[in-house]
Amino acid sequence: MTIPRDVERRAAELRKQIEHHNYLYYVLDSPEIPDAEYDRMLRELQHLEDEFPALVIPESPTQRVGAQPLKQFNEVRHELPMLSLGNAFNPDEVADFDRRARERLGEDEIEYAAEPKLDGLAISLLYENGVLMRGATRGDGTWGEDVTQNVRTIESIPLRLLGSGYPAVLEVRGEAIMARAGFELLNARQRDKGEKTFVNPRNAAAGSLRQLDPRITAARPLQFYCYGPGRIDGGTVPGRHSELLARLREWGLRINEESAVVHGAQGCLDYYARLAAKRDALAYDIDGVVYKVNRADQQRALGFVSRAPRWAIAHKFPAQEEMTRLLDIDVQVGRTGALTPVARLESVFVGGVTVSNATLHNQDEIERLDVRKGDTVVVRRAGDVIPEVVSVVKEKRRRGARRFRMPTHCPVCGSEVVRLEGEAAARCTGGLFCAAQRKQAIRHFVSRRAMDVDGLGEKLVEQLVDSGLVRNVSDVYRISQQQFAALERMGETSAANLVAALEKSKSTTFGRFIFALGIRQVGETTAHTLAAHFGTLDALMAADDEQLQQAPDVGPIVAQSICTFFAQPHNREVIENLRASGVHWPAETPAVTRGSVLAGKSFVLTGTLESMTRDAAKAALIARGAKVTASVSKKTDYVVIGENPGSKLDKAQQLEVPTLDETGLLKLLER
Ligand code: IVH
């Protein structure tokens, strides 16, 4: 069947447009048309090709997923071997690398191209006359696997190069990766289907590319970043690595947006610091940075040593995952009685620190991991996140390793452990009889935003509870200076200071006092709201469910929790004892009855105040019946502006919300 000329032309035009928009979307990350429009063009092309099958060419955007599943991958030979990189683990090793290069080249300072070291797998793409002919894995560097039909499904890999001027044979190399968000999504999908999940994005990327059925690969969120050239024939490319990358981007390949040109070892180290600070905010995992001598002539002069170039080096970040042995699983009891299983580990250096404990979260997580005492486990510590066990190396499990069971009774006080419907945590039912909960409750009680007792740290609280001196929070006010002085690591002076700090803390505010009680569901803001609403402790303790829910932002769950707390005779007793010890606060007239000018008004605070902290200002406003919220909206009554205000000031001006300076605020508070 002959193809009408206008159909042929239309198909060519559609391909060009689709390729262009594909490039804008996947390579430059700046789409210009809505997805629906893109889909419409693709459908129109598909339609034409269905009608005139002779129109179909392999590099057509409709042909990304086409081929049948393979029986096995063919081997391909890399005519130019795919090398690896030497590693530097500290600034000295980077300086050595730079010095060696300078000496060999006889230069004072070297220009480097610096790039993230992406954590995926190396891929070679071969373009002949601009058409993608082959995609291959690195393999052993000389022999890799032909994964052409899989790489074709990755949208950031052009099936045909854009523009013109590319060499007749252009091989490029780069990293196939999976972004963290895509990885999470894939694992969630795998879990839903009851299929195996992946340990990390790199494994997921590798597993996805090594699928014999390209339809599976197509459904995996893979991306490709090009980081350099391979074989080049029949044409020339720019003489600087950075310019070559820029040219490859024009030809349609995705180049990492963090790439930069830097000068000398110091330039490299500054780049490293910059990227290290950004590491957790990137959308994908990187395990270091790579420095490459930028000038191609200098690269040639430096050449190779064994399997790695002398002109490039990888500067590794501290690993965020390491293997170690799980010695035991302990169970910790928190303030609310929640039982947290904690892995005791053989110490291991990971994420820049030595780790010997990692959280196992809860029973469900332990079952998901199937982690057992004695197992070899992978521990992860990324950024400021607490270390966690991410997987178990099952092959290394010893025979007879037994499953872990959450205890049915509290390991500290022996009370029954329950797990409520819909809750992840199992809890000790011992309440304040449980020493672990008591310790946490006391630490909370004396903390800065609660009773603010200086000098009563963790170790001291442990001693006080373990020695039986303190059974509940009210006991801390009954301990004499002599008793404190007799404790470990306490001298006369510290004991005297502590007694003074305790004395000082007795003069507090109602809001702080409520917060200090540690009622479940009652955080700092709710505590201050309750104080403002009810005004007196007696009113609060007498309030029923319905009255509680009339306070701003108190719903049924919070109300229930407050009722339950005050219904316990031992809690009432503790409160009486606290009052008897002299804990007091200025009387508050509840906002509702006082007719405070601030009652019901909504405030936003921004910038630094001179005469008080923002927390104090917030508490003062709440105590007068006002609400303090985090962001400015049309409903905001005032925005209080301190030194160096943030974008909230702009927002206030934009929405024409009245602003107040510190003096204005103080006047309002005095009224
Ligand atoms: S250049 C001759 N640049 O690191 C230079 N490699 O240990 C060859 N990698 O297998 C590599 N990001 O998969 C280079 N920006 C980057 C890279 C990078 C990740 C991987 C690559 C290679 C391994 C080398």
pLDDT digits 0-9 by tens, 134-165: 999 999 999 999 999 999 999 999 999 999 99
**Where in the chain do CATH 1.10.150.20 domains reside?**
421-586
Residues 233-242 have a mean pLDDT of 95
- Dihedral through CA 225, CA 228, CA 229, CA 235, nearest 10? 90
**Where in the chain do CATH 3.30.470.30 domains reside?**
86-316
Phi and psi torsions of 565, nearest 5°: -60, -50
Q: Which of 149, 157, 199 is nearest to 26 (CA)?
A: 157
Could you tell me the distance, in angstroms and rounded to a whole number, from the CA of residue 271 to the centre of ligand 1?
Answer: 17
CA–CA gap between residue 582 and residue 604 (Å, rounded): 35
Confidence band of 29 (pLDDT split at 50, 70, 90): confident
Confidence band of 91 (pLDDT split at 50, 70, 90): very high
Q: Which residues line ligand 1 (CB under 6 A)?
A: 83-85, 115, 117-118, 122, 138, 175, 227-228, 290, 309, 312, 314
Could you tell me the distance, in angstroms and rounded to a whole number, from the CA of residue 85 to the centre of ligand 1?
Answer: 7
The answer, yes or no, to whether residue 600 has pLDDT greater than 80, is: no
pLDDT digits (tens, 9 = 90+) for 334-381: 888 899 999 999 999 998 889 999 999 998 889 989 999 999 999 998
Find out whether 253 and 223 touch, Cβ atoms under 8 Å: no
pLDDT digits (tens, 9 = 90+) for 95-134: 999 999 999 999 999 999 999 999 999 999 999 999 999 9
Residues 548-561 have a mean pLDDT of 88
Could you tell me which CATH number the domain at 595-671 has? 3.40.50.10190
**Tally of CB atoms within 10 A around 414:** 13
Could you tell me which CATH number the domain at 5-63 has? 1.10.287.610
The answer, yes or no, to whether residue 388 has pLDDT greater than 80, is: yes
The answer, yes or no, to whether residue 592 has pLDDT greater than 70, is: no
Could you tell me the distance, in angstroms and rounded to a whole number, from the CA of residue 101 to the centre of ligand 1?
Answer: 19
The domain defined by 321-396 folds into OB fold (Dihydrolipoamide Acetyltransferase, E2P) (2.40.50)
The answer, yes or no, to whether residue 482 has pLDDT greater than 60, is: yes
Comparing 38-42, 92-96, 506-510, 623-627, the range with the smallest average pLDDT is 623-627
pLDDT at 247: 97
Percent of the chain with pLDDT strictly greater than 90: 68
Cα–Cα–Cα angle for 182, 188, 189, rounded to 5 degrees: 90
pLDDT at 452: 94
**Where in the chain do CATH 1.10.287.610 domains reside?**
5-63
Confidence band of 590 (pLDDT split at 50, 70, 90): low
Could you tell me the distance, in angstroms and rounded to a whole number, from the CA of residue 265 to the centre of ligand 1?
Answer: 19
Q: Between helices 201-209 and 180-192, what is the axis angle to 10°?
A: 70
Place of tokens 């499904």: 153
Could you tell me the distance, in angstroms and rounded to a whole number, from the CA of residue 84 to the centre of ligand 1?
Answer: 7
Q: Which residue's alpha carbon is at the smallest distance from atom 6 of ligand 1?
A: 117
**Tally of CB atoms within 10 A around 338:** 17
The answer, yes or no, to whether residue 589 has pLDDT greater than 70, is: no
Q: Which residue's alpha carbon is at the smallest distance from atom 9 of ligand 1?
A: 117
pLDDT at 611: 79
pLDDT at 631: 86
Q: DSSP assignment, residue 298?
A: H
CA–CA gap between residue 201 and residue 216 (Å, rounded): 16
Phi and psi torsions of 599, nearest 5°: -55, 125
The answer, yes or no, to whether residue 652 has pLDDT greater than 80, is: yes
Confidence band of 170 (pLDDT split at 50, 70, 90): very high
The answer, yes or no, to whether residue 1 has pLDDT greater than 90, is: no
Structure tokens at 572: 């009432």
Strands (E), 351-495: 353-359, 376-380, 388-392, 417-418, 426-428
Q: Which residues contact 38 (CB under 8 A, 6 or more apart)?
A: 18, 21, 22, 25, 31
pLDDT at 199: 82
Percent of the chain with pLDDT strictly greater than 70: 98
CA–CA gap between residue 309 and residue 83 (Å, rounded): 8
pLDDT at 299: 97
pLDDT at 261: 97
**Where in the chain do CATH 2.40.50.140 domains reside?**
321-396
Higher pLDDT, 125 or 551: 125
Please list the residues that pair with 302 across neighbouring strands. Answer: none
Candidates 71, 117, 316, 601; catalytic one? 117
| Ligand 1 atom with the shortest distance to the CA of 121 | 13
* 604: helix, strand or coil: strand
CA–CA gap between residue 499 and residue 481 (Å, rounded): 6
Higher pLDDT, 498 or 598: 498
pLDDT at 595: 64
Structure tokens at 641: 């502006």
Q: Which residues contact 193 (CB under 8 A, 6 or more apart)?
A: none
Find out whether 603 and 631 touch, Cβ atoms under 8 Å: no
Residues 259-279 have a mean pLDDT of 96
The answer, yes or no, to whether residue 496 has pLDDT greater than 60, is: yes
Please list the residues that pair with 233 across neighbouring strands. Answer: 169
The domain defined by 421-586 folds into DNA polymerase; domain 1 (1.10.150)
Higher pLDDT, 569 or 593: 569
- Dihedral through CA 107, CA 112, CA 117, CA 121, nearest 10? -80
Q: Would you call 117 a catalytic residue per the annotation? A: yes
pLDDT at 42: 94
Average pLDDT, rounded, for the chain: 91
Q: Which residue's alpha carbon is at the smallest distance from atom 14 of ligand 1?
A: 227
| Ligand 1 atom with the shortest distance to the CA of 314 | 7
Find out whether 201 and 223 touch, Cβ atoms under 8 Å: no
For a ligand 1 pocket test, name from 97, 115, 117, 311 the mutation site with the most ligand atoms within 8 angstroms of its C-beta.
Answer: 117
Structure tokens at 497: 């200071």
pLDDT digits (tens, 9 = 90+) for 273-289: 999 999 988 999 999 99
CA–CA gap between residue 128 and residue 149 (Å, rounded): 16
Residues 49-53 have a mean pLDDT of 94
Structure tokens at 36: 């629906």
Q: Measuring CA to CA, how many Å separate 55 from each of 49, 52, 155, 274? A: 6, 6, 22, 50
CA–CA gap between residue 310 and residue 83 (Å, rounded): 11
| Ligand 1 atom with the shortest distance to the CA of 228 | 1
**Where in the chain do CATH 3.40.50.10190 domains reside?**
595-671
For a ligand 1 pocket test, name from 85, 124, 177, 294 the mutation site with the most ligand atoms within 8 angstroms of its C-beta.
Answer: 85
CA–CA gap between residue 391 and residue 372 (Å, rounded): 11
The answer, yes or no, to whether residue 383 has pLDDT greater than 80, is: no
Residues 460-475 have a mean pLDDT of 92
pLDDT at 591: 57
Find out whether 326 and 373 touch, Cβ atoms under 8 Å: yes
The domain defined by 86-316 folds into D-amino Acid Aminotransferase; Chain A, domain 1 (3.30.470)
> Is residue 297 classed exposed, middle or buried when 0-12, 13-18 and 19+ CB atoms within 10 A define those classes?
exposed
The answer, yes or no, to whether residue 36 has pLDDT greater than 70, is: yes
Comparing 10-14, 250-254, 405-409, the range with the smallest average pLDDT is 405-409
Residues 513-535 have a mean pLDDT of 91
